[in-house]
Structure 1
Amino acid sequence: MTENFPGGNTPEEPWERLLRSVFGPDADEAIAQLRARGMDVDALNAAAGIADDPRLIDQVLAQVRSLLSTGSGPVNRDVAHDVARQAAAAGGDPSVGDAQRRAALDAFGVADLWLDTATELAPAGGSRVVWSRSEWVERTLPAWSQLAAPVATNLVAALGGVLGERLPEDMEGMLPPGMAAVLPPGSLADPSALLERLGSAMFGMQIGQAAGTLSREVFGLTDIGVPLVAEPMTALLPANVEEFAEGLDAPLDEVRLYLALRESAHARLFTHVPWLRGHLLGLLDAYARGITIDVDALDDAVRDVDPSDPDQLRSALAGGGFFGIGQTAEQRATLERLETALALVEGWVDEVATTAALPHLPHAMPLREMMRRRRAAGGPAEQTFATLVGLELRPRRSREAAALWRLIAEQSGLAVRDAVWDHPDLLPTGEDLDDPAGFAGRRATTDAELADVDRAIEAFLAEAEGDDGTQPKA
């Protein structure tokens, strides 16, 4: 027995109707996830009342219950992992061949030699790895889940709170025949918790899909400017490097070397500036935790929805516009600091890698421009993460930052340029990106003011101690 969409002729099985009523536009991904876990579609339909084999029904119900109950937190990481692996393998995920591995590792070795002439920061050390897309997913997915968790927490809680108030007391009566047994124990008694679990699974699917898609676009670990692993490490994905090189005039060896230079420059920066990774992640977290869901807009979107009507609920979830995210003054300040920091990282890497490449790679400047445009435009996966994390991770002012780093090196040398990273308080500001030529003068003024403060503090302490050097009386 099947049911039809209202106003349409497409037959829909009862279990599919349930998933579509909850997941909305992500139902196809949920159904694909069930199938990927070995779900027997005919058997699942049997669980909805089409067949009578108790053993088969028990098996299918256990599988669906596992999907809804595994994992914890705002992002269902089990679902994210499985979906990401599937997305990474879509269209093929060839294993790394011996020749590819040797070429990538050789490129890293050459890159470190060339970088020694372009920066005072020493090689990062750590491991050099050559990965398939699936291997990249395995190592980086925890970081993506962590980045998305603050936004996911707010969205899932708001969805469960608003829709939970509109669920009927007779939850079992709104479900297709036999489907109540699929849900985790106690779910019908606490429908808001069930909605939160479903929202967590939905968010896990979105994270997994985006990470899997991104694995077919990235070249290494630092394409987005934020390091995705804590330890010193450089990585290349030969399949993506080779696909990228196919559309360029530059030969593959040059493209590989230029990308290895960028990856190695990133690794040097984050290894020898130990506060930088925590600084960026802290800004991201502070911004994301400040996001508030427009509950009134969400309430308006579902006010006239009958939760027992799967098609009304599906349409409401498909709209998505009720997740109105506004910015507070504090968030705007945090966002400005984050965008400036990301631009400074990208600009430094751009300047250092290109400076190192120019004497050796004939296509260094065209490759530089290609990477600039690629980072400025982003791809579909990056746009998805902009929604999941709450903001774009692309540096908006990397060209200005590169010009500033170049000017500092020309005026004061590489050592002074790289020493700007010694402390976050020394970092250039948005004003410095607007006016690179005035950076040195502003920095000198700031240094003089700090020196005056230091002298005043020393004088105060000396006076407090007294002429004889003894401590003053309380």
Structure 2
Amino acid sequence: MVQFVDWDLAASTAGALGKSGPKVSLEEAAEAVADLRRLADEASVHVAEYTQLKGPESPVRVVDRKDWAAANIAGLREVINPLAERLTGGKNPGAIGTAVGSRLTGVQAGTVLAYLSGRVLGQYEVFSSDPGQLLLIAPNIVEAERRLGADPHDFRLWVCLHEVTHRTQFTAVPWLRAHFLGEVQAFVDASQLEKDEMLLRLRRGISTLADAARNPDSRASVLDIVQSSAQRAVLDRLTALMTLLEGHAEFVMDGVGPEVVPTVADIRQKFNLRREEANPVEKVIRRLIGIEVKMRQYAEGRKFVHGVVERVGMAGFNKIWQSPLTLPRLNELGDPGGWVARVVPSLAA
């Protein structure tokens, strides 16, 4: 198999460059871990009642930053290795290997994961296992609640509501994980490029990244660099799906919140400010690796879900999980009424 990325080097790079955790005693750390496990179980009950969705529960893993990076590296192997096989036809990488050696890409992957490992609060990781695994990053949650001055119990439950909603999406909707992985595979299949074209795109990518670093107003993104025309169509479908999933989780965490998280309004206000605040260099990094896109997905997706539920209720909204054909199209995210008219016209009437 072509070794396109040195995954061991990626893991060691992520561990070496990752932020150190907040200062906590051994007792405080143990208490936070136990609290997050308990609150994840509590959140499962609230999410099931609110969403009217119930699926088998996969395990909850409370991890540190290094373990989070390792879990994502295991998942990335499942995506990147098939891509490398297609790019090279299973043969020695030759010119591609010279331009982008496995050690270089390993360092790059590790650097990105190191950056993210200090900022992600939780994740439902679907690549490395079936049906997936719920990850809660304890040091990041503790650090965030301290920085916000939030009540620890309320903030931890609020975060758990969001992440447990993602777990519910993938476990209560039997076809969703396979569909998502199929779309990722379609993205990989659409990336069959000639070596010269790949090298040209890589050179263009380096130039674009350098320009973005010099010019904070640049709108460049890694996603723009790697896309082929065929991949854009797949990416539109993936963008619509991810916006739905993120927006649904945001809608649920705020919908359940007032009943079980007394300080939810204060937490949401402070958390939104935290998302927006970043120095110019960090803003460039966020844009390059797609974090700004994800932040927009939170807001746009939540607005879409709210618009649908407002029109047809939660039971009507849940028609969205019937099949891939009932998922919103990209242009419907700004038009919840259009989705209702297409999928549940009887309820709209």
TM-score when scaled to structure 1? 0.57
- 1:131-174 CA-to-partner distances (Å, cap 9, x unmatched) read 122222232211123334466668899x9655xxxxxxxxxxxx
**1:427 corresponds to which residue?**
327
2:166 counterpart of 1:236? no
**2:9 corresponds to which residue?**
79
Please report how far the alpha carbon of residue 248 of structure 1 lies from its aligned counterpart in structure 2 after TM superposition: 1.3
8 Å contact 1:145–1:207 — kept in the other structure? no
2:20 counterpart of 1:91? yes
Return the match for 1:283 from 177, 180, 183.
183
Please report how far the alpha carbon of residue 208 of structure 1 lies from its aligned counterpart in structure 2 after TM superposition: 1.9
2:254 counterpart of 1:354? yes
Please report how far the alpha carbon of residue 368 of structure 1 lies from its aligned counterpart in structure 2 after TM superposition: 4.0
Return the match for 1:295 from 172, 183, 196.
196
Q: Which has the higher helix share?
A: 2
Equivalences for residues 202-241 of structure 1 within 5 A: 202-222=104-124, 229-241=129-141
Once residues 326 and 149 of structure 1 are traced to their aligned partners in structure 2, the CA distance between those partners, rounded to angstroms, is 16
**2:53 corresponds to which residue?**
121
Please report how far the alpha carbon of residue 445 of structure 1 lies from its aligned counterpart in structure 2 after TM superposition: 5.7
Please report how far the alpha carbon of residue 232 of structure 1 lies from its aligned counterpart in structure 2 after TM superposition: 4.5
- 1:173-215 CA-to-partner distances (Å, cap 9, x unmatched) read xxxxxxxxxxxxxxxxxxx86x37x701111121122223322
2:5 counterpart of 1:107? no
Change beyond 3 A, Cα 1:235–1:444 = closer
Q: Partner of 1:221: helix, strand, or coil?
A: strand
Q: Decide which moves more: 234-243 or 93-102.
A: 93-102
Please report how far the alpha carbon of residue 259 of structure 1 lies from its aligned counterpart in structure 2 after TM superposition: 0.4
Equivalences for residues 16-165 of structure 1 within 5 A: 72-88=2-18, 90-92=19-21, 97-122=29-54, 124-149=56-81, 161-162=94-95
Once residues 227 and 346 of structure 2 are traced to their aligned partners in structure 1, the CA distance between those partners, rounded to angstroms, is 31
Q: Partner of 1:410: helix, strand, or coil?
A: helix
Once residues 299 and 408 of structure 1 are traced to their aligned partners in structure 2, the CA distance between those partners, rounded to angstroms, is 44
**1:415 corresponds to which residue?**
315
Please report how far the alpha carbon of residue 231 of structure 1 lies from its aligned counterpart in structure 2 after TM superposition: 3.3
Please report how far the alpha carbon of residue 251 of structure 1 lies from its aligned counterpart in structure 2 after TM superposition: 1.6
What amino acid does structure 1 have at the position aligned with 2:7?
A: R
RMSD of the alignment, in Å?
4.1
Change beyond 3 A, Cα 1:395–1:421 = farther
8 Å contact 1:342–1:395 — kept in the other structure? no
Once residues 209 and 264 of structure 1 are traced to their aligned partners in structure 2, the CA distance between those partners, rounded to angstroms, is 28
- 1:388-421 CA-to-partner distances (Å, cap 9, x unmatched) read xxx9872644433323322333333322322321
What amino acid does structure 2 have at the position aligned with 1:144?
A: L
Q: Partner of 2:260: helix, strand, or coil?
A: coil
Once residues 300 and 220 of structure 1 are traced to their aligned partners in structure 2, the CA distance between those partners, rounded to angstroms, is 33
What amino acid does structure 1 have at the position aligned with 2:113?
A: A
Change beyond 3 A, Cα 1:325–1:288 = farther
- 1:200-246 CA-to-partner distances (Å, cap 9, x unmatched) read 11111211222233222212223xx8666433533322211011112
Q: Decide which moves more: 199-208 or 425-434.
A: 425-434
**2:219 corresponds to which residue?**
none
8 Å contact 1:432–1:438 — kept in the other structure? yes
Once residues 201 and 324 of structure 2 are traced to their aligned partners in structure 1, the CA distance between those partners, rounded to angstroms, is 44
Please report how far the alpha carbon of residue 290 of structure 1 lies from its aligned counterpart in structure 2 after TM superposition: 2.9
Once residues 349 and 301 of structure 1 are traced to their aligned partners in structure 2, the CA distance between those partners, rounded to angstroms, is 35
Return the match for 2:103 from 192, 196, 201.
201
Change beyond 3 A, Cα 1:245–1:279 = same
- 1:449-470 CA-to-partner distances (Å, cap 9, x unmatched) read xxxxxxxxxxxxxxxxxxxxxx
Please report how far the alpha carbon of residue 271 of structure 1 lies from its aligned counterpart in structure 2 after TM superposition: 0.8
What amino acid does structure 2 have at the position aligned with 1:237?
A: I
Identity rate of aligned residues, in percent?
24
Once residues 150 and 415 of structure 1 are traced to their aligned partners in structure 2, the CA distance between those partners, rounded to angstroms, is 39
Q: Please tell me whether Structure 1 or Structure 2 has the larger radius of gyration of its CA atoms.
A: 1
TM-score when scaled to structure 2? 0.75
Please report how far the alpha carbon of residue 349 of structure 1 lies from its aligned counterpart in structure 2 after TM superposition: 0.9
Change beyond 3 A, Cα 1:107–1:151 = same
Change beyond 3 A, Cα 1:143–1:74 = same
- 1:331-359 CA-to-partner distances (Å, cap 9, x unmatched) read 22212111111101111111112111122
- Runs (5+) with no aligned partner, structure 1: 1-70, 163-191, 303-316, 448-474
2:342 counterpart of 1:442? yes
- Runs (5+) with no aligned partner, structure 2: 211-221
2:201 counterpart of 1:271? no
- 1:356-402 CA-to-partner distances (Å, cap 9, x unmatched) read 1122223324544666677789968765655xxxx987264443332
What amino acid does structure 1 have at the position aligned with 2:171?
A: T
Q: Partner of 1:75: helix, strand, or coil?
A: coil
8 Å contact 2:126–2:133 — kept in the other structure? no
Figure out how many residues of one structure are paired with residues of the other and give that number: 324
